[in-house]
A = this chain, B = another copy of it.
Amino acid sequence: MGKAKGNLAIGQSGGPTVVINSSLSGVIQEAMVHDEIGEILGMYRGIKGLLQDQLIDLRQQSAKVIEGLRQTPSAALGTGRYRLTPENYGRILDILKKRDIRYIHYIGGNDSADTSLQLHKLAADAGYELHVIAVPKTVDNDLFGTDHCPGYPSAARFVATAMRDTGRDTEAMGPSSPVKILEIMGRNAGWLTAAAALARETEGDPPHLVYVPERNVSVDQLVEDVRRCYEEREYVVIAMSEGAQEAPGMTLGQEFAPKEVDAFGHRLKGGVSDYVAALLKDRLGLKVRLDRPNYLQRCFMLCASPVDLEEAYRVGREAVKEAVAGRLQGMVTLVRDPGPDYHCSTDTASLEGIANREKRLPAEFMNSAGNWPTEAFVNYARPLVGEPWPPQRYVRLAKHFV
């Protein structure tokens, strides 16, 4: 430990995923092989842990626990959504100096990249040598500079799995409960919602309609889409982003939300699915059922994508290597090789192009009607998500009526 150049601090930020602990494990295991690194400190509950000097000694953990993180969902250090402000800079710098922290790895999305960038700048401005290499993570998949974001493939796998199964459920119910909406996370980005399309094995399988925030859908168009699908097969399954919009900046049904209040007089958030269910009942007389798994999308360990688990671990290790090699700021990125076989290598991008920006689903990943992902999207997402799970093909009875 005598020749250590300084200590390392690592934090987890924003919403947990099933693989954010894999990245943590990767950082810790890689840090342990570098003599430049002294203490390995975990920020308790994100950047606030650094600000409040609440730091967990990660060298005190057993090797079994560090390895076990790779199969443990959620964020083992605790996470948070605190945003640094210039008022915090003095205090942060004091802690960095007091703890002799020279390496920082912050695992998170675009807000977290902003935090990393602020840390880099405040240290640079103070002439304090600090290596800040961010580790990407978000189920929303909306980070610039990387082919995809760890966390997304597994959440997408949950969505595809849930869609495949709830699609079969709705098919069996037939006319008595003919419309199902699976409401899907993703804030302003449709990456996770689009993944529902991976559930389709043969033509006509659910989902039948996919609505993402990047493509506005008018109320009339939505009703018409559902009517047409219902006439074709007597049931309709919809993948609906929680942020689906009828106009730029206006989610479906947003104008009705203020009319609804809860038992205590608070305005109800409403929610796109509740509105659409009421709309379809009103216009088409169809009963609509909702599945809103919400946080299960990001934490359901059973749906962890093997590709995701491995890559999340790898970007953690790479972040440490980059920092030790001397890079002062950046985020580890995943770079996909061209060609049909899936392979990703890692690289590092400047935080300047990543912080506070949202990479939304590109136009070529949705059809012209804005209600179905293209083959190009499926080719992008399939290798990340893997084959349907369970892998057995489900059967259907041939409709030989006597």
Chain A contacts to B: CB under 8 angstroms: 12, 15-16, 18, 39, 41-42, 44-45, 54-58, 60-61, 64-65, 68-69, 71-81, 99, 161-162, 165-166, 168-174, 176, 180, 253, 256, 259-264, 266, 268, 274-275, 278-279, 281-282, 289-296, 298-303, 389-390, 392-402
Contact = CB atoms under 8 A, between A and B. Distances in A.
Contacts of A393: 68
Contact of A174 (B78, B165, B395, B398): B78
Contacts of A65: 395-398
| Best-buried of A69, A77, A262, A301 by chain B (most CB within 10 Å) | A262
Contact of A76 (B16, B173, B275, B396): B396
A76 B299 contact: no
> Dominant SS at the A interface?
mixed
A57 B44 CA distance: 63
Contact of A74 (B172, B176, B260): B172
15 contacts: A15-B173, A16-B172, A56-B401, A57-B400, A68-B394, A69-B395, A71-B390, A77-B397, A259-B261, A260-B268, A290-B292, A290-B294, A291-B292, A301-B394, A302-B303
Nearest to A65: B395
Contacts of A395: 64-65, 68-69, 72, 76
Given A44-B401, A259-B263, 14 more contacts: A39-B402, A41-B402, A56-B398, A56-B399, A64-B395, A68-B395, A74-B168, A165-B300, A256-B262, A259-B261, A264-B278, A266-B281, A291-B293, A301-B390
Give me the 4 closest cross-chain CB pairs, A-B, nearest first: A256-B263, A68-B395, A74-B168, A75-B172
| Best-buried of A161, A173, A264 by chain B (most CB within 10 Å) | A173
- When all copies of this chain in the complex are counted, the total is 2
| Best-buried of A57, A161, A294 by chain B (most CB within 10 Å) | A294
A393 to B, nearest CB: 7
A402 B56 CA distance: 6
Nearest to A275: B263
Given A68-B395, A290-B294, A60 B400 contact: yes
A234 B252 CA distance: 35
Nearest to A28: B397
A218 to B, nearest CB: 15
A294 B289 contact: yes
Contacts of A75: 172
Contacts of A299: 165-166, 168-169
Contacts of A99: 402
B398 A295 contact: no
